[in-house]
């Protein structure tokens, strides 16, 4: 059973580098995300969505290579990415990496960021590469490799988040609550090649915006 899933979504190409992935990674594409999976030479195990945006030829290639296609009605109560996340969680993976573009409607981008931090994925490590940006969901103690001078912003979601400590960031936080709607965690900065963020209550999303050249 795969312990890691990579979920491809739409929105243009991912420009930041992907994290290291195991050989047995479960590859899921959310509708038009199949194009990004093919661009990056991943064989899709599961294509899910209403398939109103995926190219028919790409759908046929998934089926021809032995992948599974799950078609949903266009009038559905969940986004294609949400359906793909649910499929990954149902596969009992321990980590989900979402990959896609950073372009598109603001409501879609915000909705996707909030979706990735959903309580439904508690117990699963969730990260994303969206265009030039990286996103990490933090519920406990997590560490990230980075570059000194790289920006990172921390946002609490679904209530206050208690930050026990940070290391490797210019503006350290210790025994401090970050609240939704506050800019307290905005535009922090790596001062070392590795940063650690320890959250003891609540949920943070860490966004590393990257650059267009990333």
- Write out the DSSP string of 173-213: -EEEEE-TT--TTTTEEB-SSEEEEEEEEEEEEEEE---TT
Contact present, 81 and 98 (Cβ < 8 Å): yes
Q: Which two tokens mark 71?
A: 């078609």
**Interaxial angle between packed helices 80-90 and 106-116, expressed in degrees from 0 to 180 and rounded to the nearest 10:** 20
Q: Cα–Cα distance between 164 and 177 in angstroms, integer?
A: 9
Contact present, 135 and 97 (Cβ < 8 Å): no
- Strands 26-30, 4-8: pairing kind: parallel
Give the pLDDT score at 214.
Answer: 42
Q: Could you identify the residue written with the tokens 């420009």?
A: 15
Contact present, 174 and 141 (Cβ < 8 Å): no
pTM summary value: 0.94
Mean pLDDT in order along the chain per 10 residues (214 residues): 93 91 96 96 97 95 97 90 97 97 84 94 96 96 96 96 97 96 95 98 96 56
Contact present, 50 and 76 (Cβ < 8 Å): yes
Domains and CATH numbers, the chain: 4-131 (3.40.50.10240), 141-208 (2.60.120.320)
Q: Cα–Cα distance between 35 and 15 in angstroms, integer?
A: 15
Contact present, 132 and 211 (Cβ < 8 Å): yes
Q: What DSSP state is assigned to residue 148? A: T
């Amino acid at each position: 059973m795969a312990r890691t899933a990579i979920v491809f979504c739409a929105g243009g190409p991912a420009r930041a580098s992907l994290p290291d992935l195991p050989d047995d990674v479960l590859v899921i594409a959310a509708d038009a995300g199949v194009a990004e999976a093919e661009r990056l030479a991943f064989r899709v195990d599961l294509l899910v969505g209403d398939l109103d945006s995926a190219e028919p030829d790409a759908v046929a290639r998934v089926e021809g290579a032995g992948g599974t296609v799950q078609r949903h009605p266009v009038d559905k109560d969940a986004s294609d990415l949400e359906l793909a996340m649910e499929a990954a969680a149902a596969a009992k993976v321990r980590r989900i990496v979402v990959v896609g573009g950073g372009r598109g409607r603001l409501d879609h981008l915000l909705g996707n960021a909030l979706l990735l931090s959903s309580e439904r994925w508690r117990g699963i490590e969730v990260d994303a590469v969206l265009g030039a940006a990286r996103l990490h969901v933090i519920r406990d103690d997590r560490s990230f490799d980075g570059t000194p001078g790289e920006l990172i912003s921390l946002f609490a979601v679904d209530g206050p988040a208690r930050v026990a400590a940070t290391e490797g960031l210019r503006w350290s936080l210790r025994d401090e609550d970050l609240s939704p709607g506050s800019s307290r965690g905005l535009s922090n900065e790596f001062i070392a090649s590795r940063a650690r963020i320890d959250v003891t209550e609540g949920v943070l999303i860490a966004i590393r915006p990257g650059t267009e050249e990333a």
